[in-house]
């Protein structure tokens, strides 16, 4: 009959994932004639657990390079955007302890999918997308069987063919008949 031990350990007890598409309206100082480029930089975020969800609070800068004055001049407009993503958790262990440690990982950095000038010609609408995976670490109890005879020490220390490659055969004394 085997003995058992209960071990308290940390493990991932819940996970969540969320893909988000958003639209941001940017008001440049000049009426845009055309959009020459759009990129998103300086992404920062923090995650915290609230109930059975994780809130990811973050910011990033949207930079739009555009032409104005009938395509005779160009400018770059930058706008800092704040966001909050709420990610539902799926628990593996409902009976865990101290599940407040959250690890958030970006699966897709915020990026610009499309940027277009509004119909009245005064603003720019940027479509952005991002994706997060969050994991919650908590203490959980596992039950393991204990072998009363100790560990199995059969490590298989046999000689492999590779071990013969490093063998120095110069020490062998050849007999003459």
What is the rounded average pLDDT of the residues 154-171? 67
Is residue 46 in some structural domain? yes
Is residue 167 in some structural domain? no
Domain tally, the chain: 1
CB 15 within 8 A of CB 89: yes
Residue 127 has pLDDT above 80, yes or no: yes
Is residue 170 in some structural domain? no
What does pTM read for this prediction? 0.74
Distance (Å, whole) CA 14 – CA 91: 4
Burial 28-50 (b: 16+ CB within 10 A, else e): beeebbebeebebeeeebebebe
Is residue 158 in some structural domain? no
Is residue 163 in some structural domain? no
Full residue range of the structural domain in which residue 47 is found: 3-149
What is the rounded average pLDDT of the residues 117-134? 96
What is the rounded average pLDDT of the residues 72-100? 90
What is the rounded average pLDDT of the residues 9-13? 90
Distance (Å, whole) CA 54 – CA 86: 6
Is residue 82 in some structural domain? yes
pLDDT at 1: 47
Residue 115 has pLDDT above 60, yes or no: yes
Is residue 133 in some structural domain? yes
Is residue 140 in some structural domain? yes
Residue 79 has pLDDT above 50, yes or no: yes
């Amino acid at each position: 009959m085997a003995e058992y031990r209960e071990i308290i350990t940390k493990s991932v007890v819940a996970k969540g994932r969320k893909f988000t598409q958003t639209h941001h309206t940017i008001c440049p100082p000049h009426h845009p004639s055309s959009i020459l480029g759009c990129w998103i930089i300086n992404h920062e975020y923090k995650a915290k657990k609230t109930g059975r969800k994780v809130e990811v609070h973050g910011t990033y800068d949207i930079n739009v390079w555009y032409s104005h004055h009938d395509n005779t001049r160009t400018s770059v407009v930058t706008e800092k955007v704040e966001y909050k993503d709420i990610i539902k958790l799926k628990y593996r262990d409902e009976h865990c302890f101290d599940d407040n440690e959250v690890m958030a990982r970006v699966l897709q950095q915020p990026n610009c999918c499309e940027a277009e000038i509004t119909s009245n010609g005064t603003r720019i609408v940027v479509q952005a997308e991002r994706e997060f995976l969050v994991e919650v670490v908590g203490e959980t109890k596992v039950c393991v069987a204990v072998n009363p005879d100790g560990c199995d020490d059969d490590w298989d220390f046999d000689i492999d063919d590779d071990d013969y490659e490093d063998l120095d055969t110069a020490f062998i004394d050849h007999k003459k008949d």
